[in-house]
Structure 1
Amino acid sequence: MSLTLYGSIPSPYVRRIRILLHDVDFHFEVIDLMNNEDQVKLLKISPVRRIPILKDQDTIIYDSRQIYNYLAKKLSLKALTIHQENLLTFIDEVNDSLVSVRLLNSSGFNDIQNTFMRNQYKRIKDTLRFFEKEITLFELDESDYVQVCLFCLLDWIAYRELVSLEEFKNLENFRNSFSSFERTKKNSPRL
């Protein structure tokens, strides 16, 4: 198989695809988003400079959700239900909010009184509260793409120390259990 995945090691969006491809032969092209040479390389593939990107011969797929849908067809994986798509939307919204907050904080804009920042933190906490309840309905399954994505989000939050997960015991238990799987260990940003 001639798959090439472009992305950074710590990205939760890239990690979910790396975990999905655990048993598939593919090339991982590491992109350091803070490196100017890698920025130029990324610009040649995508004008929006976002990762992950999957290249399958002459086909290029942008965005982790589109990559999953493409791979689901190619690898005969189960298509996502509307409920699963909705859960992924929630996960992606929290990811996007956390990326925005992290970038603003690293740029010196860390005023929690700022309306944008305050709304991001509300979205993050409200969605984590939703998943704190929702996770009790899950049966742990390392091949379930929604669970992979939720794990990648939670583990990235812990890795980057973005928000406290202390009040979310069910999510912490889920993260700890999911981190024991070989495919999640091999794709840890801590390696």
Structure 2
Amino acid sequence: MSRIAPLQPPYPPEIQAQFDAIMRGAPPLRLFRVLAGHPRAWTKFRAGSLLDRGPLGLREREIVIDRTCALTGCAYEWGVHVATFADAARLTDEQVTATTVGDADAPCWSAAEQAMIAAVDALHHRATLSDDEFAALSAHYDDAKILEIILLCGFYRTVSYLANGLALQPEENAATFPRVS
């Protein structure tokens, strides 16, 4: 169980409408139900979130999110994203595993994806990009996409803090971190 109890149905109409808009017919995630029980936290989360489609394609977006969540050890959010989006993002099993282990230069990634993953890794470990890392990213992505990559890293680090700090149990159909020997 979560360290802070999630809301239980039936939800107030305004909360149900917000869940419906975000989840598009699926049951609300445990993380959302915990936050929605605390109006200020829920409002801030939704206002600062990147739950909508941005300038990155689904594949790029999911690589950034999966790698960020893996680096923070957030099995909860990584599992939700892999279960929900990996197939649609055309991530192979090898690539899903590579979001959790290995370096950015793994051969399963394109040159653009390698630059993006290197940026995610740098932001996670140093909270900055070197000039060379930024130049590598700029060779493949325009300014709007670079800003989105940085924003996603920060937002999903926050999501990871929430899920890990609250000790959220995995969602029912979530993926689990791969076992690597």
- Structure 1 and Structure 2 fold alike (TM over 0.5): no
Higher relative contact order, structure no. (Cα contacts within 8 Å, ≥ 6 residues apart) = 2
TM-score normalized with structure 1 length: 0.29
